[in-house]
A = this chain, B = another copy of it.
Amino acid sequence: MAGRKKAVVLLSGGLDSATAMAIARNEGFDVYAMSFRYGQRHAIELECAEQQAQASAEEFRVVEIDLRAFGGSALTADIDVPKHDGVEELTDEIPVTYVPARNTVFLSYALAWAEVLGANDIFIGVNALDYSGYPDCRPEFIAAYEKMANLATVAGVKGQSLKIHTPLINLTKGEIIQLGLDLGVDYAKTTSCYDPASDGRACGHCDSCLLRKKGFADAGCRDPRPYMEG
């Protein structure tokens, strides 16, 4: 087992996971980036993930998942994405954009690849502050997943400890962006919009656009990603 430590990084094409990848590299890991094609209505997320991986990862794997087989969610089925005029309209309700058991499924693929690679580290850009409606973004979920993972694998049985890193979990969107800029993340290669135009421009009014805009405002810098309204 020569060379640097390996980490599997879950990459969505969004700004959180791009920042998590930069943190992994900054901590000395060689990055093995993994993304998922799961019936998204837009391919722009995977294009962004691939651009980021080309710049920063040793390998990049896209796993095909047909989550549509399980039924509804605004990100994967024909339900309208909710639009708002401001971030104050967001509620504590669990969003309709929730994909069933998404992080559980994604982490399970990451675990399988980590086991094959001999990697003991997985990075995931979950955030408990800005997305409190998703149960599988909470610290207690991640802790329980890590405990399970250490009982699931041959490496775990042999006493190697697998760690799931969530470096963004308690940061605000503004803090995440500031940290990423310090580490050289190119946020032009990230997309956040749930309902982008065919050329990749963001709608500016979905939950995710509102949180992103507020984050760049709080970080005091310009969002390099184009919006429909200019």
- The chain A residues found within 8 Å of chain B, CB to CB, are 61, 63-64, 66-67, 69-72, 94, 98, 100-105, 107-109, 111-113, 115-116, 135-136, 138, 140-141, 144-145, 147-149, 151-154, 156-157
Question: Chain B contacts of A116 at CB under 8 A?
Answer: 70-72, 100
Question: Chain B contacts of A107 at CB under 8 A?
Answer: 108
Question: Chain B contacts of A61 at CB under 8 A?
Answer: 69
- The answer on a CB contact under 8 Å between A104 and B144 is no
Nearest CB in chain B: distance from A197 CB, A: 30
Question: Chain B contacts of A147 at CB under 8 A?
Answer: 144, 147-148
In this complex, the member of A61, A63, A147, A148 whose beta carbon has the largest number of chain B beta carbons within 10 angstroms is A148
- The answer on a CB contact under 8 Å between A112 and B108 is no
Nearest CB in chain B: distance from A59 CB, A: 11
Give the docked Cα–Cα distance between A136 and B155 (Å): 12
* With A100-B115, A108-B104, A112-B105 as contacts: A148 and B152 at CB distance below 8 Å: no
- The answer on a CB contact under 8 Å between A152 and B67 is no
Question: Chain B contacts of A113 at CB under 8 A?
Answer: 69-70, 100
* With A61-B69, A94-B154 as contacts: A101 and B105 at CB distance below 8 Å: no
Nearest CB in chain B: distance from A66 CB, A: 7
Closest residue of chain B to A99 (Cβ to Cβ) is B112
- The answer on a CB contact under 8 Å between A101 and B112 is yes
- The answer on a CB contact under 8 Å between A144 and B148 is yes
Give the docked Cα–Cα distance between A82 and B104 (Å): 33
Give the docked Cα–Cα distance between A154 and B154 (Å): 31
In this complex, the member of A66, A94, A149 whose beta carbon has the largest number of chain B beta carbons within 10 angstroms is A149
- The answer on a CB contact under 8 Å between B67 and A112 is yes
In this complex, the member of A104, A111, A116, A151 whose beta carbon has the largest number of chain B beta carbons within 10 angstroms is A104
Nearest CB in chain B: distance from A65 CB, A: 8
* With A100-B112, A100-B115, A104-B112 as contacts: A151 and B157 at CB distance below 8 Å: no
**Among all A-B residue pairs, the 9 with the closest Cβ atoms:** A101-B112, A144-B148, A100-B112, A100-B115, A141-B151, A108-B108, A70-B116, A105-B108, A71-B116
